[in-house]
Structure 1
Amino acid sequence: MAEELCLKWNDLHDNEISSENIQSVLSPVQDDLWVAAACADRLLDDTRVQRELLDLGLSRTESAPQRVQDAILTYVPPTEDHQEEEDPSLTPSSQDALTIHFRHNDIDRQLCRIRALLLDRLDRLLTYQEMVAAHQLQMDSKEETGDAWEDPDDPWADPDEEGTVTKEDRDLFSLPTFLILDISQASFILASLGHFKALEVLYARYASSLRPFRFQILEYIPNHISPTHYRNLLPACDPSSDFELFQEAKPWREVLDWVESETVQRATQLPAYLPTEETPTDTSELAKPLSGEQLSAWYKKRVEDTETTCGMIGHCLALIQHGASQNVPDLDQLGEDLNLLARLVYDAPQPDAKLVPPNWTLAAWRQLEPLDVIRAYLAYATPENFATCIRRLVMPYLFVLESRKERQQQPDPELPKRLLYQYILQAPLETVAVILDASKPTLPAAQRLIKDDQDIARLALACLYGSNSTSEWSTMSRIFECLPVWSDSYEGDEDAADTTLASLGDFVTPSTAGVTTSPTDLLIFFTPLPEMALSRALDILDVHLESGEIFARWGVPAPLRWFLQSYNDVKEQRAWATRMVRRSGPELPENLDEWRDLLDDMLKLLKGGDGPLKGAFGSLSREEVTQIFFGGVLASGDFDIARKLLGSLRGDRALGPSVIENLCLTASREFYDNASSGNLYQGDMRLAYDCLSVASQSPVILKEKEFIEATSRICSFNVLSRSGLPMTPLEIRLVKDRLSLISQVLSGTDDAYKHSQVILDLADKLGFRGDMGSRIKVFAMLGDAALQAEDFVAASHSSEQMVEAVHTLQKHPEGVPQSSIDEAVEVCWHFCFQLGRQAEFRDLETKLKLLGQALQLCPSGNAVDVLNVWRRVEAEQTQIRRQMTKSREARRDRRRPEKTLAELTASSIRDRLSSFKPDLTHSHLVPTEAAAMASRTLGRVTASLPFGVARGRSDLSQDEPRARSQSPDVSAQARQVLSKGIGWLIGGDDE
């Protein structure tokens, strides 16, 4: 019967076992060892059936421990006769009675082993049931709260799956698995799956077994799970001992069964647990409590791992906060850093979807300076939430810094204010405006970011005067509107205002190194100023803001610091006023009304409102500003508006005729100097000419007009400069001797000399009108140019005009220096002498006339040379006449002239000799030397006029080559005798 039941039991599958089967098949079997082994052999999923199996197995093993204990009590050591039958390696002294009993009673040994195993399974079964219940509660809570261990700020989370509980989350491992699994491995599995309630049950029931693995269990918990879900598993510290505080163990049985004792376990060779590869073999040190310092290191390491692996600052903060609540030391600063960093990551305004937010890490946070942290908090704040962000984010951070200083025994109560002010000083003006708007005195004190009125004024002054902005005038005005107004503000203290302005101007002036003053430097300047001085500074700021807006309106914006630097600087103010009225672009006035508005604004800048303060142009006079304005109108080229404005200026704005004339001349010359072409009818030259029509047509204006016309005429002749390029108008104006321009025109154009009237008119327009001496020089240039071209007729015509001009100058020398008259006479006789001695010139009558004119005008010392040439020409003429007489003997009926040319010339010479008493101190010169001297004199006069006097025929060395056949001694003696004779003839003193 028993054998049939055993076979029937063995044929049953695990899922077929039920309570009925246990009672009907297994319980009737009388063999306790077989029944106990059958109970231990089966692992079922059904906890109730498994419990019945365990209870049945335990009931069949109850008698074995009692028998073993009774046998131990009645144990008698073996005698010497029976010792040979025992194991020779065991001696009665070392032989354990229990071991000997189990050696001889294997059934009892196996029953004890099975009983210990069944007891452990019973505890595990009960634990499993409790774990399932706790886990079920956890899953129900997750479904109700929607908390699926996910971070709410996880950008990768699927919103459609939030709060769902999967089958893997709900199910624990099966009962058979748990019954045979090592307890530590089960705890690792539960930790990795996030089944913390079940893990807490397991940890409480098997605390002594799992304590060496407590930190290893925590390592299996994923870092992305918030520590708040497993806070009961985290280590705590006992503040009284500064060592780890262990959780209270709650085993199922306070007193272990006899078979579970270490002695029985060792005797039955059944280990309490089966070691695995992941189970440390030496757990004695790990089972000991850690010190507070070790716990702190573990928390910090856990934070570092969490922050590195998943970057969830909130989880790190929760972990540190829990550790601090559990009395773990040295976590305060890390907690503060994490708290502040969490505010930056989760609470601070973030960029829009188009921008990728910065990846903040704890390491990066620790590298930030305090000002960098403030900037990070406010990087994406808007004007609407800026003040709120400062209150909620920046101020707590600053107070944390202050508290750290106190903990370090270095109290610094001014630290929050100092850092906030440093940020404001380095912030854009728009940010400064928002902060000061949240600090204006009209707000309740509790709502103000900055509560000190004087600090607000100092910060505003430092930020505004330290800014280089030239466009944010509306923002600057908003800042000014936030500033306090003191009832005891100064009134009429001009000296104090000037002193403050001068001090500020010196302070903000760039140094020699070119370094400009920063807002931080300016705050140092404003810090010691009392309320009265700050009030004056604000009044100054008001004037400067108004001036800056006027500058910006007309396209010449200047930073506020410029108004300090230019205070009492006449040169700088004049330059800026000129820039203001001469600004090109859309800001330039387009009609008469706008020009008048500009003048009104420029005059408004003379004074700062109704007070004693000076405006931006306070160092200039009203007349000077008006002149600068009118000069700008002329520079714009709109001369019709200029005439209308002149006609409308009345009272203290009116300008005198001489002032207008000077302004027109200055503007005209500016156009002239900037002209790239000398064409009178286009470009800047046209503007230069038309500009002169605005003023009254005085001689000075007309002279300037003629010079412009002359410039246009010179450029039309394509006169070249030294560089080989056509001369520009500016180069023409810079020529010192303008007669040289006439010479360049004549030398650069082959037939220019033929247009003598044009050249003379050009000379008049160059500024030589009425200058007879210069006119004679022009005749000389014309004659020389004709002479170079071998046009002797034109040359003789120029000589006639020159002689006539000289005679006129001699008759009416009024107002002409004698040196100029002498120079004109010298040029005239030299040219007549030069032309009269030209061998290629065949008009002998004209030559004799020219020589006679030269003899009449030349000094007495040169008369001999002129006479020698005259005699040679006369001899040549006589010879020609003789030849002509012979050829005309057949025509004697022709009437002979009353006086020959020779007789006329002789008469002229006699008149000349009778009227002059020449100085014969130089009469010892030979004719050649005198001629050379005359050549040098003419060359000296014309050398400064570069029209090519050295081109061959003007060289006096070519004079009468055949007249020098005499020896030098004989010639000199003859010349001396001739000179003495002539000297006697004209009445000279005989030495």
Structure 2
Amino acid sequence: MTSAADDLCDQWTSLQDADVTLSSIQDILAAIQDDLWVAAASADRLLDDVDTQRALLELGLQRTKPAIERASNVYSPHDNDDDTSPPLPPAADTPDETLVSYFRDEPADAQVCSIRTVLLSRMDRLNSFVEMQQENAGFDELERQVDAEWEDDPWEDAPDEDTVDKATTPTREPPFPLSTFLSAELLTSASYLASRLLFSPLRVLRQRHGFHLWPSRLSIIESIPEHTNPTEYRDFLPDYDATNETERRIAAEHWRPDPDWSELPQVLASLKASEVVELGGILTLRTPGSPQFLTASDLTSWYKQRVDKVLTSTGMTDIALGLVQHGAGQGVPDLDELGEELSLFSRLIYDAASLDEEIEDEDWTLDRWRTMQPREVVRAYLRYSTPESVVTDIRKLVMPYLFVLETRAERAGQPDTTLSTRLIYDYILTVPLDFAASIFESSKPILPPAQRLVRDDEDMARLALACLYGSDALDQWSTMSRIFECLPAWDNSPTDDLADEADTTVASLGSFVTPTTARPRVTPSDLLIFFQPLPATSLSRALDILDVHLESGEILSRWDVAAPLRWFLQSANNEAEQRARATRMARRTGRPISELDNQGDWEWLLEDILKLSGTNDIGLKSAFGLLSRTEVIRIFFGGLLSSGKFDIAKNMLHSRTNPLALDDRIIEDICLAAAREFYDNASTGNYRFGEMKLAYDCLTVAPQSENVLREQEFIEATSRITSFNVMTRSGVLISPLEIRLTKDRLSLVSRVLSSNSDAYKYTEVILDLVHKLGFRDDPAAKVKALAMIADTALQAEDFARAYETSETMVNAVVELRASAVGMDDPQVREAAEVCWVACFQLGRQPEFPDVPKKLALLGRALEFCPADKLVDILAAWRRLDAEDIDARRARLAKRRSGAQRKPAAGAGEILPSSLASRFQKLHMPTSPLSRAPDSAAFANTFSRVAATFPFGSGASLGSNDNDGRSRSRERAWPALDHEVSAQASRVLQKGIGWLIGADDEA
């Protein structure tokens, strides 16, 4: 090379790629005479400018022609008439020895030949790059046309005219630089375009280089993101050739239909064998081997794998469905079932929920779908349905799914014509009543069969009966009525046989729906099994019964005592159940009691409750059909009284029409029961307030009778007891219920006396309390009450009031004995026994200073005591009398010594002085009891009599018999010896008549 040529070479090599221009190529590179150097320099540079790169490649190719001609003359046996298109040798990839020898002898031509293959490949890619740019420009124009349709969008902000260059047209930038495209592998470029969804350039690349990209076609498709809609790249997806039962090859249009001489396989093999050039780092385009076509099963597997990948990575069922639909449309076999599944599955994902509803976060996958049972799929389809949309959803979502199931069963050779019916029925039996009502309304018998969801009238009746009697609803009577109005009507005239059959059916149903341990609750599905064998006549009768039950249910719901519909079956032969429900209806109305002040409302309630106790025109009993009219009226009247509306009760009892029609005895019983209920629920005993006032006023409704008067007095007594603040054991005020439950009501008097220190002072009040507690006709109770008062006064050391009360008690006993038929009257014996014990207790009290009164009390004790106690009481009387004599002697001696005192008057003594003197002169053998009057002889008697005293301590003041003056405050009945001298008893019995009947001594 000359120095000038060296300068040109230096100038070219010193240029940067960005500085290479068309003129530099023409002025510098083209001026160099060395073809090998120019060809190598052309292959050495990769430029981003299309025109410059094209000029560079054309120059390089032009300089390789002489070497190719020389080499082809060596290899080709024919004369080369066309300098640019030498004859093609046989297609073979084995080296030619002559050509190998030539390349070894002419290494420069070998290098030029290898460089030519590179330049040709780059020229093809350059042309493809230009076409890809043109496709991009066309795509940009299409986008601009689409955007132009929205130029009049009123919501879009208008651009500033000053900032818009109307002369410029935006163009899309190429996906990669030209230099990158020329140097990269075709598969890399194609995968990149696929990943960027640049399908127009990719389409050019596949069309122009398809022969070389064909082995990697599936890899290129895998580069497309799974979320891409298959319609965008459908022409890249593999197709099926049904004629050959293999994959269809896509036609390609190469830039050069016939390969260049340097690209022939035998030439390339000879170059490699010559070992003159390293082909691995130069050649970027190699002729592939024979193409492999996918079989039908391979295509099916690929589409299924692609679908699984789409679902796994994105979960976009519509994309997977579009992929399957394209494959099936191209004839790929065995995709129909997968398409059905995806179509049904996509309906579940995209159509089952409305766009304005919040969709719950569920992990729906195709694998889960395939494991779901048909019943679960139906519920999944309708999980977001509403009563208004459920019918539409069934027709749009469920029915296509059921059709597919039936078709598959037929294809499998196991047809099931009842499959759809069973699944629809199963859904109806498990949905709320408002959903079922919508379905029944779309299945009315008046509709054409094709429009009905439930087409069989008998099945419709069975489903309705099962849904209604299996429901727990208490407030959906209007919905139940909607269902009933949709049911078919059979023209069956009522007969005795039908009535008997209906009764049998109702009785059987009542037993069937009654909860048991094995089946706590009957479901609509269970009831459908029960109704399944019933014929149309029985179903018609069952619907008549249902009509009665629905009417009854609405009435019960109106008064806030609603019951589930199956209750009417359970109570059809249960009088107790009907009575309990009627009682609740009479007591618990649908509105607060305070709002039912109008008598008309109560008359309305009575009308409804009487309606429920009757029968309809065809002889079917209503809810309270086992209750008589009188019993229902009694229940209503009791409920009226329990509400406290006594004025309304009186008005209804005394109205001219007298709708209650109850006799006085029944009214009395109801009023007493209501009053006792108020009483038992009262929290305070004051009959001026609250429940106790209602109990007292309730009795004014009934005609006045002895029973009513006693109950009123008992309420007054309760009010009196609570006014004394009587406490229970726990320190809480006694309640009215405790007062009623007290078996011995006289013990209440004792508790009043013991809880109030001044209560004993009001004898008349206490006696009135005794009378009102139910002892008005019990004189013995009066005596016991007086004994309690006397004992309480004694405990309070109010001896004067104790003596006064004892006098009243004695007089009561005397009157009782005088009015008694005989002395053996139990009341007389009981009163006398209480009286003598009380008199003896006060008479022997050492702290009571009035000896004459004490002697009088002991005398009354002698008068009323039994014969076997006379000796003991007489001994106490003599001892007290002796003490009195000693006291008198002391006073007499004191008067004689000068003290002038007026003798004590004998007025007020209970026993006459003559009898006293006779007691003094009476001589009897001294018994152990007379020596020890406080021994245990009186223990039995005092204990027995004391037991009749209900008050708490039930004891008397004890005394020390050794000195007779002990002031011990311990309360206990005197301990008396049980051994009574037989001799003293006989003398006392023998002389008692003389003692009482002898004349008074001076």
Q: TM-score range by the shorter chain?
A: 0.7 to 0.9
My pick for the range that moved more, 52-61 or 861-870, is: 52-61
Q: Which residue pairs with 1:343 in the alignment?
A: 347
Q: Which residue pairs with 1:212 in the alignment?
A: 215
The residue type equivalent to 2:484 in the other structure is: F
What secondary structure sits across from 2:654 in the alignment?
helix
Residues 791 and 71 from structure 1, CA distance in 2 versus in 1: closer, same or farther, beyond 3 angstroms?
Answer: closer
Kept in 1, the 8 Å contact 2:613–2:622? The answer is yes
Residues 143 and 879 from structure 1, CA distance in 2 versus in 1: closer, same or farther, beyond 3 angstroms?
Answer: same
Name the CA distance, whole Å, in 1 between partners of 2:892 and 2:942.
39
My pick for the range that moved more, 625-634 or 362-371, is: 362-371
Within the candidate set 226, 229, 234, 1:226 is matched to: 229
1:784-807, CA deviations, whole angstroms, 9 ceiling, x for partnerless residues? 222223333222222322222222
Name the CA distance, whole Å, in 2 between partners of 1:757 and 1:426.
74
Within the candidate set 356, 363, 376, 1:352 is matched to: 356
Kept in 1, the 8 Å contact 2:876–2:933? The answer is no
Residues 713 and 902 from structure 1, CA distance in 2 versus in 1: closer, same or farther, beyond 3 angstroms?
Answer: closer
What secondary structure sits across from 2:490 in the alignment?
coil
Q: What is the CA-CA distance between 1:449 and the residue it aligns to?
A: 1.8
Kept in 1, the 8 Å contact 2:307–2:323? The answer is yes
What secondary structure sits across from 2:624 in the alignment?
coil
Kept in 2, the 8 Å contact 1:212–1:284? The answer is no
Q: Which residue pairs with 1:268 in the alignment?
A: 271
The residue type equivalent to 2:191 in the other structure is: F
Q: Which residue pairs with 1:553 in the alignment?
A: 558
Matches within 5 A, 1:380-459: 380-459=384-463
Q: What is the CA-CA distance between 1:444 and the residue it aligns to?
A: 1.7
Q: What is the CA-CA distance between 1:236 and the residue it aligns to?
A: 3.2
1:92-129, CA deviations, whole angstroms, 9 ceiling, x for partnerless residues? x9992212112222453344334434543454455456
Name the CA distance, whole Å, in 1 between partners of 2:130 and 2:270.
32
Within the candidate set 511, 519, 527, 2:524 is matched to: 519
- Give me the TM-score of the superposition, normalised by structure 2: 0.82
The residue type equivalent to 2:627 in the other structure is: L
Residues 555 and 34 from structure 1, CA distance in 2 versus in 1: closer, same or farther, beyond 3 angstroms?
Answer: same
My pick for the range that moved more, 474-483 or 758-767, is: 474-483
Kept in 1, the 8 Å contact 2:402–2:420? The answer is yes
Q: Which residue pairs with 1:643 in the alignment?
A: 650
Q: Which residue pairs with 1:543 in the alignment?
A: 548
The residue type equivalent to 1:104 in the other structure is: D
Q: Which residue pairs with 2:768 in the alignment?
A: 761
Q: What is the CA-CA distance between 1:192 and the residue it aligns to?
A: 2.4
Q: Which residue pairs with 1:296 in the alignment?
A: 300
Name the CA distance, whole Å, in 1 between partners of 2:894 and 2:47.
172
What secondary structure sits across from 1:693 in the alignment?
coil
Q: Which residue pairs with 1:982 in the alignment?
A: 991
Residues 612 and 241 from structure 1, CA distance in 2 versus in 1: closer, same or farther, beyond 3 angstroms?
Answer: farther
Unaligned runs of 5+ in 1: 76-92, 149-157, 915-919, 963-967
What secondary structure sits across from 1:661 in the alignment?
helix
Kept in 2, the 8 Å contact 1:773–1:824? The answer is yes
Matched, 1:331 2:335: yes
Name the CA distance, whole Å, in 2 between partners of 1:344 and 1:712.
74
What secondary structure sits across from 2:429 in the alignment?
helix
Name the CA distance, whole Å, in 2 between partners of 1:378 and 1:474.
24
Q: Which residue pairs with 1:259 in the alignment?
A: 262
Q: What is the CA-CA distance between 1:689 and the residue it aligns to?
A: 1.0
Residues 816 and 349 from structure 1, CA distance in 2 versus in 1: closer, same or farther, beyond 3 angstroms?
Answer: farther
Name the CA distance, whole Å, in 1 between partners of 2:233 and 2:146.
17
Q: What is the CA-CA distance between 1:442 and the residue it aligns to?
A: 1.9
Name the CA distance, whole Å, in 2 between partners of 1:902 and 1:39.
162
Kept in 2, the 8 Å contact 1:834–1:954? The answer is no
Q: Which residue pairs with 2:863 in the alignment?
A: 856
Q: What is the CA-CA distance between 1:551 and the residue it aligns to?
A: 1.8
Identity across the alignment (%): 47
Matched, 1:630 2:634: no
Residues 272 and 559 from structure 1, CA distance in 2 versus in 1: closer, same or farther, beyond 3 angstroms?
Answer: farther
Within the candidate set 806, 824, 827, 1:820 is matched to: 827
Q: What is the CA-CA distance between 1:5 and the residue it aligns to?
A: 11
Kept in 2, the 8 Å contact 1:14–1:42? The answer is no
Q: What is the CA-CA distance between 1:439 and the residue it aligns to?
A: 1.6
Matches within 5 A, 1:194-213: 194-213=197-216
My pick for the range that moved more, 305-314 or 42-51, is: 42-51
Q: Which residue pairs with 1:573 in the alignment?
A: 578
Name the CA distance, whole Å, in 1 between partners of 2:285 and 2:27.
46
Q: What is the CA-CA distance between 1:348 and the residue it aligns to?
A: 3.4
Q: Which residue pairs with 1:461 in the alignment?
A: 465
Matched, 1:675 2:676: no
Matched, 1:313 2:317: yes
The residue type equivalent to 1:378 in the other structure is: L
Q: Which residue pairs with 1:152 in the alignment?
A: none
Name the CA distance, whole Å, in 1 between partners of 2:919 and 2:891.
29
Name the CA distance, whole Å, in 2 between partners of 1:980 and 1:654.
68
Within the candidate set 796, 801, 820, 1:794 is matched to: 801
Residues 817 and 523 from structure 1, CA distance in 2 versus in 1: closer, same or farther, beyond 3 angstroms?
Answer: farther
What secondary structure sits across from 1:648 in the alignment?
coil
Q: What is the CA-CA distance between 1:74 and the residue it aligns to?
A: 9.0
Q: What is the CA-CA distance between 1:599 and the residue it aligns to?
A: 1.1
Matched, 1:102 2:103: yes
Name the CA distance, whole Å, in 1 between partners of 2:908 and 2:466.
103
Within the candidate set 191, 195, 200, 2:194 is matched to: 191
Name the CA distance, whole Å, in 2 between partners of 1:686 and 1:861.
52
My pick for the range that moved more, 361-370 or 502-511, is: 361-370
1:652-685, CA deviations, whole angstroms, 9 ceiling, x for partnerless residues? 7311111111111111111111111111211111
Name the CA distance, whole Å, in 2 between partners of 1:383 and 1:3.
98
Residues 912 and 593 from structure 1, CA distance in 2 versus in 1: closer, same or farther, beyond 3 angstroms?
Answer: farther
What secondary structure sits across from 1:194 in the alignment?
coil
Q: Which residue pairs with 1:599 in the alignment?
A: 606
Q: What is the CA-CA distance between 1:894 and the residue it aligns to?
A: 9.9
Kept in 2, the 8 Å contact 1:350–1:357? The answer is no
Q: What is the CA-CA distance between 1:613 and the residue it aligns to?
A: 1.6
Q: What is the CA-CA distance between 1:895 and the residue it aligns to?
A: 12
Kept in 1, the 8 Å contact 2:783–2:835? The answer is yes
Name the CA distance, whole Å, in 2 between partners of 1:218 and 1:462.
57
Kept in 2, the 8 Å contact 1:467–1:560? The answer is yes
Q: What is the CA-CA distance between 1:460 and the residue it aligns to?
A: 1.9
Q: Which residue pairs with 1:498 in the alignment?
A: 503
Q: Which residue pairs with 1:71 in the alignment?
A: 74
Kept in 1, the 8 Å contact 2:641–2:698? The answer is yes
The residue type equivalent to 1:108 in the other structure is: D
The residue type equivalent to 1:260 in the other structure is: E
Within the candidate set 695, 700, 704, 2:707 is matched to: 700
Name the CA distance, whole Å, in 1 between partners of 2:517 and 2:902.
100
Name the CA distance, whole Å, in 2 between partners of 1:449 and 1:840.
103
Kept in 2, the 8 Å contact 1:742–1:763? The answer is yes
Q: Which residue pairs with 1:373 in the alignment?
A: 377
Kept in 2, the 8 Å contact 1:406–1:412? The answer is yes
Kept in 2, the 8 Å contact 1:457–1:483? The answer is yes
What secondary structure sits across from 1:673 in the alignment?
helix
What secondary structure sits across from 1:697 in the alignment?
coil
Matched, 1:871 2:872: no
Matches within 5 A, 1:157-176: 171=174, 173=176
My pick for the range that moved more, 613-622 or 261-270, is: 261-270
Residues 275 and 912 from structure 1, CA distance in 2 versus in 1: closer, same or farther, beyond 3 angstroms?
Answer: farther
Matches within 5 A, 1:863-902: 863-886=870-893
The residue type equivalent to 1:445 in the other structure is: P
Residues 281 and 399 from structure 1, CA distance in 2 versus in 1: closer, same or farther, beyond 3 angstroms?
Answer: farther
What secondary structure sits across from 1:216 in the alignment?
helix
Q: CA RMSD in A?
A: 4.7
Residues 703 and 781 from structure 1, CA distance in 2 versus in 1: closer, same or farther, beyond 3 angstroms?
Answer: same
Kept in 2, the 8 Å contact 1:61–1:112? The answer is yes
